[in-house]
Each structure stands twice: as structure tokens, then as C-alpha cells.
Amino acid sequence: MDKSEIQETKLTALLGWSLPAIEAIDKLNKPYVVVGPPDFQEFADKNGIQFVAWDFEQLNERSIELYEKLAALNTKVAVPIYEETVEWAGALNAHFNNDPRIFNRSLLLRDKGLMKRKAQMAGIRVGVFEEAYTKDDVYRFLKRMNEALIKMDGDVNDPIHVKPLNKAGTVGHRLIRDAQDIDLMGDTEFPCLMESHLDGQEFSCEAFIHNGKIQFLNITEYVQLGHSNFIPASPALEEWRPRIREEVQKLVDSFEIKYGVIHPEYFIAADGTLNFGEVAARVPGGHIFELIERAYGFSAFQAQILCSDPDTTEEELQAFFPEEVTSARGYAGSLMVYPKVKLIERLNVPEELKTNPYFEKHDMFIPVTSKVAERVGFGNHYGTIFFFGDDSEKMRSLLKQYEKYDFYL
Ligand SMILES: Nc1ncnc2c1ncn2[C@@H]1O[C@H](COP(=O)(O)OP(=O)(O)O)[C@@H](O)[C@H]1O
Ligand SMILES: [Mg+2]
């Protein structure tokens, strides 16, 4: 066997259960193992998927046990699919590569306080921020920040944001304007991160990194956070691509990110000033991977898997990725639908949506239980509508128009 054949007997471990990720790696003909909650064991067995059952709760001394299991299967790399598996991938890859620092780097991506500090030290523009351990910290932060903004008694405060150090999807996020808002905070919300408000249009990037280099940079335009976005971004935002690329590379360099996908969020002001929001290193939400595939014709899951593997060659990557922006076939957008009612009686999909040339498909459904689950962050939408077309402004207005629509009655 030559070197490449020897390599291909080693497994890639997908951390987290995701059918699109499994299909993607299957089509790549790469040997793999899925690590996921025990509930999926039966499905995996039935479908001949090599599976290791694992609960990704708090990372603990038992992580070595998972490493040993995977090492015994001849695994070489771990790919995180969900937020909770990012530090697990860090711990496992640290073992696989005999480089403990890989784990510490992954913690930067899991603790928003550490993340902001690291970014700030690298000269990346962030707001004012601090960790809060008690409500007093929040009162003081709000007061001092507004003093700095030269607000006087009676002026309206500039708001601050508080958020958990390690959650995603806006879970636990609060906008705070005055003392009463702070009074409402519960003891379990501490410690948390406090931040000044960042102005500007919010967007995300999906950067596929191999050997510390950006191989492909997608920019996703947020229309309404947690509800709708499209790919590629509109010409007005894409115009800033060279600046955005520089910022993403700065992030990659300072966070020492070598392999995989990152999903940073930024706020851009009218003059192009970029403020860094946060960065994740896993599959993004908002159906972004599906939209990338629709617009560019490559599987973003495969891209993530290929970029996570140090053995993937430069030639393979060049052949895999198309040209950014210019090779997009059109704009691909998604609208996540949240019922506005408490009890669902029926689905109401208007004819003019289905006949709109931008409409592609939807997967809204009548749920088994009619009671709508209480919403935590942007966790559980009840189906998605997919659009595709060649004009970003038409896309934007459609997404806005149908966000107001009551699909569930
Ligand atoms: N400092 C801030 N300024 C303006 N908007 C913010 C700020 N912090 C959070 N937000 C808003 O709240 C959303 C969720 O916050 P974020 O830090 O991205 O946490 P997560 O996505 O992990 O829940 C952001 O996408 C943004 O729209
Ligand atoms: Mg976010």
C-alpha cells in the first residue's frame, strides 16, 4: 500500500447525529464512524452505519474513554457537527495529533468571554464587554457604559446585551436598557457576558479552512435574524468581500484555526466598519449549508469534512471548490416558520406563494401534537420555505413579506 491508501483506512468521526452529514461522507467514500446519542443506535445498526453511542454532556474525565474507543477503531480526526461537540472534537483531535493545545484552542470557541478577549487582543474590533458574576456587575456595567457615552440623567440609556457564555441560537440572550430589566435576571443566568450594543447590518460567514488558509468564503446575508437569510449576499454587501476576507483571515490566524469550518458573525456599518459578533466552528443554523449547496452546487457538509482532514490535498480542494460569488447560479434563501398561534389547527399555504417563480419547496407540516412548544431562542421552527431566484432584492422582499404571513392557524 502506498501512503494515501494507508491513510484512507483511517476513520473520520462525525460528532453528533446528522443525516445530511452522514450522506455527505458516505458519498465521499471516506470511511467513518458516527458518535451520537444512544437513541440512534438502532437506526445506525439497521442502516449499516458504524456507530459509537455517546452522551455529549459536560466534557469530563470520561473523554479519554471516548478517545480510546475511537482510537481502537483506527480514527484519525473528529468533526464537530453541533455546538456542544466542539470542545469534544478539540479534546479528541488533541489526542489524535498528540498536541494538547488543540483542545485549549477549541475552548476559545466555546466561551464567549474568552473568545471576545482573544479577538480584542488580536486587534479585531469588538464592543465593550465584561463577564458578570452578579447583578451588581450588570448595574455597574450599564451605568459606566452610559457615562462613557456622555449620557446625563434623564437621557435614554444605550442598551447592553447579556448572554450565557456558551449557548447558541440566542438562548438566554437579553437586551437590557435599565435597572428594571436587570431585576428580572435570575441567579442561574450568572456568570454571563455583558456587551455594548453593536450597530450595523448583521451577517455571517462560512469559511472553509485547510492548513490555516481560507479555501472558500461564503457570506450569508441575514434578512431577519433567526428567521431568514440568503446566499450569496447582495451586491451591496459582497462589495465589502475583500475587507471581510481580511477580517476572517485575521480571526483564523489569531485563533490558530487550522482545519474545518468556521461560522463567524459580524456587524457592518454603512462606512464598512466591521464589528466582530462571535464565531462558531460547526455546522451553522438557518439551513445555511443547504443554501450553499443550492447556490453553488457543492455539498458544504463534504466541504467541512474534507477541510477537517489534514490529509486532503491542495489539488483535491481546488477541484472541489468553485469560484466564490461568480459561480453561484442564483440566490438561495430560506424562511424559517414559527407558528404565531398556541394551538395549531391547520396549515395555510397560499396559492400565490406556490406559484411564485422564486418558490422552491417547503417542509411545513401539521404536528402530531397541536400544542406549539414553548420557544427557547430560535431552537424549534416548524418548517422552512426555500426560495431561489436571480435578484437579491426580490429575494429580500419575499422573505420579509412571508415572515409576516400566518402559515399556521
Ligand atoms: N452586542 C450586541 N450588539 C448587537 N446585537 C447583538 C449583540 N449581542 C447579541 N446581539 C444579537 O443577538 C444575537 C444572538 O447573540 P450571539 O452573541 O450571536 O449569541 P448566539 O447566536 O450564540 O445565541 C446576535 O445574532 C445579534 O443579533
Ligand atoms: Mg450568534
pLDDT tens profile 187-196: 999 999 999 9
**Confidence at residue 104, expressed as pLDDT on a 0 to 100 scale:** 95
Distance in angstroms (rounded) separating the CA atoms of residues 98 and 102: 9
User: Which residue among 163, 223, 267 has the greatest number of ligand 1 atoms within 8 angstroms of its CB, and so is best to mutate?
Assistant: 163
How many Å lie between the centroid of ligand 2 and the Cα of residue 18?
A: 21
Atom of ligand 1 nearest to the CA of 198: 3
Tell me the mean pLDDT in the region 279-293: 97
Tell me the mean pLDDT in the region 246-262: 98
User: Which residue among 173, 222, 282 has the greatest number of ligand 1 atoms within 8 angstroms of its CB, and so is best to mutate?
Assistant: 173
Atom of ligand 1 nearest to the CA of 377: 23
Q: Does domain 128-196 have CATH number 3.30.1490?
A: yes
Distance in angstroms (rounded) separating the CA atoms of residues 336 and 382: 7
Location of each CATH 3.30.1490 domain in the chain: 128-196
Q: Share the mean pLDDT of the chain.
A: 95
More confident residue, 391 or 8: 391
Location of each CATH 3.40.50.20 domain in the chain: 3-108
Q: What are phi and psi of 215, to 5 degrees?
A: -90, -30
Give the neighbor-by-neighbor strand order of the sheet with 51-53: 51-53, 32-36, 11-15, 75-80
- The yes-or-no verdict on residue 32 having pLDDT over 70 is yes
**Confidence at residue 7, expressed as pLDDT on a 0 to 100 scale:** 54
Location of each CATH 3.30.470.20 domain in the chain: 201-403
- The yes-or-no verdict on residue 62 having pLDDT over 60 is yes
Just give the CATH number of 201-403: 3.30.470.20
Atom 14 of ligand 1, nearest CA residue: 170
Question: Domain 3-108 adopts which CATH fold?
Answer: Rossmann fold (3.40.50)
Tell me, rounded to whole angstroms, the distance of Cα 6 from its chain centroid.
33
Confidence tier at 368 by pLDDT (50, 70, 90): confident
Q: What is the pLDDT of residues 332-360, one digit of tens each?
A: 999 999 999 999 999 999 999 999 999 99
**Confidence at residue 360, expressed as pLDDT on a 0 to 100 scale:** 98
Distance in angstroms (rounded) separating the CA atoms of residues 91 and 104: 8
Count the alpha carbons within 13 Å of 186 in the hemisphere toward its beta carbon.
5
CB 105 within 8 A of CB 125: no
Within 10 angstroms of residue 313's Cβ, the number of other Cβ atoms is 12
- The yes-or-no verdict on residue 31 having pLDDT over 60 is yes
Which helix or strand (DSSP H or E) is residue 228 part of? strand 228-231
CB 176 within 8 A of CB 160: yes
Output 52-61 pairs: Cβ under 8 A, ≥24 positions apart: 52/13, 56/15, 56/16, 56/82, 56/84, 56/85, 56/88, 59/87, 59/88, 59/91
**Confidence at residue 5, expressed as pLDDT on a 0 to 100 scale:** 55
Q: What is the pLDDT of residues 261-285, one digit of tens each?
A: 999 999 999 999 999 999 999 999 9
**Confidence at residue 379, expressed as pLDDT on a 0 to 100 scale:** 67
**Confidence at residue 374, expressed as pLDDT on a 0 to 100 scale:** 82
User: What is the CB < 6 Å shell around ligand 1?
Assistant: 127, 161, 163, 167-171, 173, 195, 197-198, 202, 225, 265, 277-278
* Grid-cell match 458516505, residue found: 26
**Confidence at residue 226, expressed as pLDDT on a 0 to 100 scale:** 94
How many Å lie between the centroid of ligand 2 and the Cα of residue 208?
A: 18
CB 48 within 8 A of CB 40: no
Q: Which ligand is nearest to the CA of 162?
A: 1
How many Å lie between the centroid of ligand 1 and the Cα of residue 375?
A: 17
Tell me which residue of 221, 383, 230 sits closest to 295, measured CA to CA.
230
Atom of ligand 1 nearest to the CA of 267: 4
**Confidence at residue 1, expressed as pLDDT on a 0 to 100 scale:** 45
- The yes-or-no verdict on residue 4 having pLDDT over 80 is no
- Grid coordinates representing 265? 458573525
Tell me which residue of 110, 144, 118, 112 sits closest to 131, measured CA to CA.
112
